Amino acid sequence: MSNEPTHNPKLKSFIDVPQGSHFPIQNIPFGVFVPPSGGSPRVCTAIGDQVADLSVLETNGFFDGAALKGKEVFDKSSLNPFMALGPAARREARSVISKLLSEDEPTLRDNQPLREKIFFNMGDVQMKLPVQIGDYTDFYSSREHATNVGTMFRGKDNALQPNWLHIPVGYHGRSSSVIVSGTDLHRPQGQTKADDAEAPSFTPSRLVDFELEMGFFVGQGNDLGKPLSINSAEDHIFGLALVNDWSARDIQKWEYVPLGPFLAKNFGTSMSPWIITLEALEPFRTSGPTQSDPEPLPYLKSSKPSTYDIHLEVHLKGEEMDSPHRICASNFKYLYWSMAQQLVHHSITGCNMRTGDMLASGTISGPTEDSYGSMLELSWRGSKPLKFPNGEERKFIKDGDTIIMTGWAQGDGYRVGFGECTGKILPCVDLGL
Ligand code: CA
């Protein structure tokens, strides 16, 4: 466990934090919101069911430490200016916020007029995409997921490609269609070709899927030609969010050879509105899977535990269902390749990573059938439909279905949570064809 004072499990806020809340005083997530009265988006944190406007704290001069004084990074429509200041500014902000929110600190607690300017009910505000994402890269870092997909398409003996245990495999994704939780999206249309069809046809995708992922965000980047090193890579990571990499499996199947996924992945990628910092996750640091057969090449070899114990869930709610039903329970720690390894590998050619870049993990599947992070695996390519209490079945996602992802690290009497990443699949747009 860490000795950082902001991690103390006994720490309490004067703001009520309901049991099981994702946002106790130990978390201090960062997001961007618009207050109920409107106005420009600005940076906030969350405590219990409340959102706290950090731009008001900034205007009142509370961020007066060496890294943040005079910086004006919170009255902004994205986290990028704050992220670019690096880990010292983030730790300083956490320390100030933790102190101001604590139950024995009177500054805000006893100043009702100021409190009314700072705190809003979470349900009354509009959360925005928190980061201006320049580049988005999606990895494929779960051995279980890669093995499952490989087994379905190539058979058990050739499930993992020869490079998989040596390289954190990834592809360059599309940042323009990354959307904040709660944004609905239309079923995509595209070229597909059934195995027994002679020619492709243009149809609505019949195999829309979710992918349970987590994304991390680059804080301070690196200059072109100056790769990052494994031991300092984490200093360049601002924090993480839940990510749903929506996928159209039938479009993917027809297009992905030889250059990988393209339109199957670019119609929308949902993310949760709160970025959870590495500092908040530090008490939950743990070791990932052993990497000994083969050992990674030296530039990917890390000397310390490099992942986090984060419980993850996916729930599905169809239009005819009374409530969401859990269809997957997984864990971030199952990932074979760590965030540090992904980031270093990405930059090792000299590729410059920039503030706000999003690097997603790939589908996070675990060892058991109920821990698979996509419908493709849960229904084993449609051969084992999921059954729901109202009698409905699903092989893939139906129009009107909402997918809800959530996740948290369990502390001693508190949770450091990620909130939710939700999205609903609407019917195709009418192209008039
Ligand atoms: Ca993916």
> For 253-262, how does the pLDDT look when each residue is reduced to its tens digit (9 = 90+)?
999 999 999 9
What pLDDT is attached to residue 40? 97
The rounded distance, in Å, linking the Cα atoms of 261 and 251 is 9
Lowest mean pLDDT across 16-20, 39-43, 151-155, 425-429? 151-155
pLDDT class of 314 with cuts at 50, 70, 90: very high
- Element of type H or E holding 250: helix 249-255
**Strand 415-426 relative to strand 402-410, pairing:** antiparallel
Q: 228 and 168 in one domain?
A: yes
State the distance from the centre of ligand 1 to the C-alpha of 316, rounded, in angstroms: 18
The rounded distance, in Å, linking the Cα atoms of 201 and 198 is 10
* Structure-token pair, residue 29: 């997530």
> For 370-380, how does the pLDDT look when each residue is reduced to its tens digit (9 = 90+)?
999 999 999 99
Q: 181 and 36 in one domain?
A: no
Residue 11 lies in a domain: no
State the distance from the centre of ligand 1 to the C-alpha of 89, rounded, in angstroms: 31
The rounded distance, in Å, linking the Cα atoms of 285 and 276 is 14
The rounded distance, in Å, linking the Cα atoms of 361 and 138 is 6
pLDDT class of 1 with cuts at 50, 70, 90: very low
Domain that holds residue 123: 31-127
Residues forming the active site:
145
State the distance from the centre of ligand 1 to the C-alpha of 213, rounded, in angstroms: 7
State the distance from the centre of ligand 1 to the C-alpha of 229, rounded, in angstroms: 25
State the distance from the centre of ligand 1 to the C-alpha of 205, rounded, in angstroms: 17
- Say yes or no to pLDDT of 139 above 70: yes
What is the CATH classification number for the domain harbouring 324? Answer: 3.90.850.10
The amino acid that residue 234 corresponds to is E
Domain count, the chain: 2
State the distance from the centre of ligand 1 to the C-alpha of 148, rounded, in angstroms: 14
Residue 204 lies in a domain: yes
Q: 228 and 94 in one domain?
A: no
Q: 181 and 92 in one domain?
A: no
Q: 89 and 148 in one domain?
A: no
Do the Cβ atoms of 243 and 271 come closer than 8 Å?
A: yes
**Strand 178-180 relative to strand 269-271, pairing:** parallel
- Say yes or no to pLDDT of 96 above 80: yes
State the distance from the centre of ligand 1 to the C-alpha of 290, rounded, in angstroms: 23
Q: 283 and 177 in one domain?
A: yes
What is the CATH classification number for the domain harbouring 72? Answer: 2.30.30.230
The rounded distance, in Å, linking the Cα atoms of 34 and 113 is 20
Q: 171 and 110 in one domain?
A: no
Q: 146 and 115 in one domain?
A: no
Lowest mean pLDDT across 3-7, 111-115, 161-165, 265-269? 3-7
Residue 432 lies in a domain: no
- Say yes or no to pLDDT of 2 above 70: no
Do the Cβ atoms of 271 and 240 come closer than 8 Å?
A: no
